[in-house]
């Protein structure tokens, strides 16, 4: 894996834009994201995790600051409203006394008038002060809401990066756990189908030995784009291990998973990786399993892994279905 690749986000963005321009593609958010990730994923994993840890800490510090601001602002608002309502209550009490004094003719018209005028001034002043506090708190809260929205975007970006394999951009094991727990729950709750297909490149070691590790890496990236090309948008690709991948197929049974694997085999046979003038053929073995009513994601993956093991040991280039 290349460790000389850029790690600075600005540098990555610059290269991604340059590549888009070179290919004559419009810089739409989708195109940009795809190229940004492509550049990002040629980083060495150790660089990536350090960078991402730093990013994650930055977001946590931002969140801390915004929460402190929100605490101060809402505290101030509550205080002001509390004081305002106490003062309003006092004015109301005085108003009632004045009304009673007037009704019982204990106060002259002039006295009642003066008292009422004073009380009105107090109520106006309190209302004005409360209005000022609410207005300034409103703008504080708006700023806080904007900051929270940015943090939310940063968190989504961070989580995506943390769940992605550095080399291929496919999901990593952490991403797999998250995805499977969600999809298994959904399938079991709605009575839907869920299938997984695990595939492992055959004789991959020979590719590394013959062409070098860097070319082996590029073959893995190539396989990832082939797999993504045959998947539906709702399906997911996970880099499970070195040259081992897992496909998670929602709303799909064993037959559907078999179809996907067959298509991948056809596409891979038609699209070998080219290293200079040399063709590197891609072959793989696969194991398929579909979700049982009572099992969790890990058990499902384990059954696919066992089926893959059987496919490997019964001659490679085959697909086996879990019992
Ligand atoms: N280039 C590269 N090679 C890797 C990576 N991860 C694992 N490998 C290599 O993948 C090879 C796997 O070798 P084996 O487990 O013997 O598998 P294989 O050669 O594909 O043989 P079978 O699976 O039995 O068909 C090893 O040479 C690992 O070094 C990676 O990220 N990049």
14, two tokens: 């610059």
Interatomic CA distance for residues 281 and 109, integer angstroms:
105
Which residue has the least CA distance to atom 26 on ligand 1? 205
| CA proximity to 179, closest of 194, 157, 200 | 194
DSSP structure class, residue 3: S
Q: Are 239 and 170 in contact (CB under 8 A)?
A: yes
CATH code of the domain covering residue 109: 1.20.120
Q: Are 13 and 226 in contact (CB under 8 A)?
A: no
Among residues 162, 189, 219, which one ends one of the domains? 162
In a domain, 2, yes or no: no
In a domain, 121, yes or no: yes
Interatomic CA distance for residues 109 and 169, integer angstroms:
84
In a domain, 249, yes or no: yes
Same domain, 190 and 238: yes
Instruction: Tell me the residue range of the domain where 101 lies.
Output: 48-162
What pLDDT digit, counting tens, does each position of 93-144 carry?
988 888 888 888 888 888 888 888 998 998 899 889 888 888 888 888 888 8
Among residues 114, 134, 162, which one ends one of the domains? 162
Among residues 138, 162, 186, which one ends one of the domains? 162
Same domain, 153 and 175: no
Q: Is 198 left (phi over 0), alpha (psi -120 to 50) or beta?
A: beta
Domain total for the chain?
Answer: 2
CATH code of the domain covering residue 302: 3.30.70.270
Among 65, 243, 244, 295, the one annotated catalytic: 243
In a domain, 272, yes or no: yes
In a domain, 53, yes or no: yes
Q: Going by DSSP bridges, is the β-strand pair 319-321/284-290 parallel, antiparallel, or unpaired?
A: parallel
Q: What are phi and psi of 104, to 5 degrees?
A: -90, 5
| CA proximity to 286, closest of 256, 255, 263, 258 | 258
Same domain, 75 and 182: no
Give the DSSP letter string of 208-245.
HHHH-HHHHHHHHHHHHHHHHHHS-TT-EEEE-SSSEE
Structure confidence at residue 5 as a pLDDT band (50, 70, 90): very low
In a domain, 248, yes or no: yes
Same domain, 177 and 312: yes
Does ligand 1 come within 6 angstroms of the Cβ of 284? Answer: no
Same domain, 193 and 124: no
Q: Which atom of ligand 1 is nearest to the CA of 201?
A: 20
In a domain, 88, yes or no: yes
Does ligand 1 come within 6 angstroms of the Cβ of 205? Answer: yes
Q: What is the ipTM of this complex?
A: 0.95
Query: Model pTM greater than 0.90?
Result: no
Helix (H, G, I), strand (E, B) or coil at 275: strand
What pLDDT digit, counting tens, does each position of 11-58 carry?
667 666 766 676 667 777 777 776 666 656 543 333 456 666 777 777
Q: Which atom of ligand 1 is nearest to the CA of 215?
A: 1
**What is the pLDDT of the chain when averaged over all its residues?**
86
């Amino acid at each position: 894996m290349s460790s000389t690749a850029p790690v600075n986000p600005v540098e990555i963005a610059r290269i991604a834009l340059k590549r888009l321009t070179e290919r004559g593609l419009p810089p739409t958010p989708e195109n940009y994201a795809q190229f940004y990730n492509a550049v990002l994923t040629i980083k060495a994993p150790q660089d990536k995790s350090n960078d991402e840890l730093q990013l994650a800490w930055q977001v946590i510090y931002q969140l801390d600051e915004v929460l402190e601001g929100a605490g101060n602002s809402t505290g101030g608002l509550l205080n002001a409203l509390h004081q305002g309502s106490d003062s309003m209550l006092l004015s109301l009490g005085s108003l009632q006394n004045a009304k009673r004094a007037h009704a019982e003719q204990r106060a002259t018209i002039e006295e009642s008038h003066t008292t009422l005028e004073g009380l009105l001034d107090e109520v106006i002043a309190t209302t004005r002060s409360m209005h000022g506090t609410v207005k300034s708190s409103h703008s504080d809260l708006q700023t806080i809401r904007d900051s929270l929205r940015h943090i939310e975007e940063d968190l989504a970006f961070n989580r995506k990066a943390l769940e992605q394999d550095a080399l291929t951009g496919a999901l990593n094991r952490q991403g797999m756990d998250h995805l499977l727990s969600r999809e298994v729950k959904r399938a079991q709750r709605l009575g839907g189908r869920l299938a997984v297909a695990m595939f492992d490149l055959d004789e991959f070691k020979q590719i590394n030995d013959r062409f070098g590790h860097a070319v082996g890496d590029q073959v893995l990236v190539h396989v990832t784009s082939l797999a993504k090309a045959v998947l539906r948008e709702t399906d997911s690709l996970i880099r499970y291990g070195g040259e081992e991948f897992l496909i998670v197929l929602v709303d799909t049974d064993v037959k559907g998973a078999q179809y996907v694997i067959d298509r991948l085999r056809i596409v891979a046979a038609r699209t070998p990786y080219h290293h200079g003038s040399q063709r590197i053929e891609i072959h793989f073995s696969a194991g398929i399993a579909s979700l049982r009513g009572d099992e969790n994601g890990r058990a499902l993956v384990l059954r696919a892994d066992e089926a893959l093991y059987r496919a490997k040991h019964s001659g490679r280039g085959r697909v086996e279905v879990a019992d």
